[in-house]
Amino acid sequence: MAVAALGYGITTRAGRDTKDDNSPAACGAAELRADKGIPVQYRRLIVDSAHDCLRPEAGPALVAAMLKAESDFDANLADPAKDEYGIARWTPSILRWWIRADGEQAQETPRPPLPPRSPSRPWPATAASSNRA
């Protein structure tokens, strides 16, 4: 995945947008290559999600590469056989742990698991992997 991320990015996390152009297409211009097919409607979400992440290694290029590998940026993806849905191919059983900021299991799992317009927040502060039943 690191090689794929290198292909999508052009600078380090510290290189925020430097252009005055605040359009969605220019968002992330300092960190995401424009020639890699990242849909304009997801550029700001990818950049913001990466910058909000507590792990600095999860930069915009890595988030974009993951979404490309998981779904080819298809927000409407549905694979009921694997119980995976949306742009990040979340499974409801995993999403149940990740939708609460405190890392506690949610009572219900939303369906579809992610709104088509929003990629997931990578690696929340309290990972639920150690809390799974």
Q: Are 61 and 6 in contact (CB under 8 A)?
A: yes
Strand, coil or helix: 32: strand
Q: What is the reported pTM?
A: 0.60
Q: Give per-residue pLDDT as tens, 69-119.
A: 999 999 889 999 998 988 888 887 777 676 666 767 777 665 544 443 344
The DSSP line for 70-110 is HHTT-TT-EETTTTEETTTTB-HHHHHHHSSTT-PPPSS--
pLDDT band at 127 (very low <50, low <70, confident <90, very high): very low
Q: Are 116 and 85 in contact (CB under 8 A)?
A: no
